[in-house]
Amino acid sequence: MTPPLGDIAHIGHAQLFTPDLDASVAFFTDYLGLTVNGQDGDTVYLRTFDDYEHHSLVLTARERPGLGRLALRTSSEEALHRRIKANEEAGGTGKWAEDEPGLGKLYVTTDPDGHEHALYWESEHYRAPDEFRPALKNQPQAKPNRGVGVRRLDHVNFLAADVLANAEFQQNVLGARPTEQIQLDSGKIAARWLTYTNKSYDVVHTSDRTGSAGRLHHIAFATDTREDILRAADLAIDSGVFIETGPHKHAIQQTFFLYVYEPGGNRIELCNPLTRLVLAPDWPLITWTEAEREKGQAWGLKTIESFHTHGTPPVA
């Protein structure tokens, strides 16, 4: 049985590995409009302007691109220990770490595919220096005057060798609710979207056609409007950012989106999920069939294959 919604408050931040740290930092600051908020050797901490915490994204220099840690803030200290207990009762193991600025202790574990998840409660609220001080006191930081100006880290799409096992980890261990899924004619679950909150989704597990474990499909940043997605596409062609597909609209979850690649080789989605929220406590799991999925996205655009990741983007 899925635990009650509420122990995970939201996605705190994601860590990406990049073989070209300087170019990746430039992409996220100049093109997306994030702000650097500290560096520790080969690791750089960046934040979106509407994040109340120290950082939204961690970039770490590595030989190959990919996803490092996904950090999730719990709704209380008691909620943190409930999720730890659920993990241990499910046979999972974890360790404590205290290695990120602005945060207290993190409980680090992995999903069945090997993706690292860190759960934490203690977090310092960001206090903007004078050069980033907002005019409105209910906004953590002034809106950037460069790039797209994304508001927040919205979701993470994992590639998985076994979608169902990983989705059930999200449900049974972390307390997420499934909202939509793809089921093939064979009965296999090819993708499942889940939420920790009233957003329609926070994490996705998508079948990796290579059969590999622990890889990344993409991370996504939310914009204020659909128009920001169109502007992002214009900025991309002006600044040499590779556009993989879009702007377009997903059929599943109805998100208006653009897929680009950052210089390190990670796929990044810019998304505007409109105001679609899951408010029904008894929301039914919506299942899309193989035939329905073959129709493509909402307006017929071909769906990007899930194996096209962890490498340099194709030549335009």
Q: What is the pLDDT of residues 153-188, one digit of tens each?
A: 999 999 999 999 999 999 999 999 999 999 999 999
Amino acid at 60: T
Segment among 104-113, 262-271, 275-284 with least mean pLDDT: 275-284
Mean pLDDT of the chain: 93
Q: Are strands 203-207 and 152-160 parallel, antiparallel or unpaired?
A: parallel
Task: Tell me the average pLDDT across 301-312.
Answer: 56
- What distances in angstroms separate CA 284 from CA 62, 181, 199, 212, 250, one per listed residue? 41, 11, 15, 30, 19
Using left for φ > 0, alpha for ψ between -120 and 50, and beta otherwise, residue 303 falls in beta
Q: What is the pLDDT of residues 4-44, one digit of tens each?
A: 458 999 999 999 999 999 999 999 999 999 999 999 999 99
Edge-to-edge strand order for the sheet containing 35-40?
35-40, 43-47, 57-61, 8-18, 66-74, 116-120, 106-110, 95-97
Whole-model pTM over 0.85: yes
**Domain spans of the chain, in order of start:** 8-308
Q: Is 30:239 a contact under the CB 8 Å cutoff?
A: yes
Q: What is the pLDDT of residues 233-262, one digit of tens each?
A: 999 999 999 999 989 999 999 999 999 999
Is the domain spanning 8-308 CATH 3.30.800.10? The answer is no
Q: 159 has which bridge partners?
A: 206
Q: Write the DSSP string, 153-212.
A: EEEEEEEES-HHHHHHHHHHTT--EEEEEEE-TTS-EEEEEEESSSBS-SEEEEE-TT--
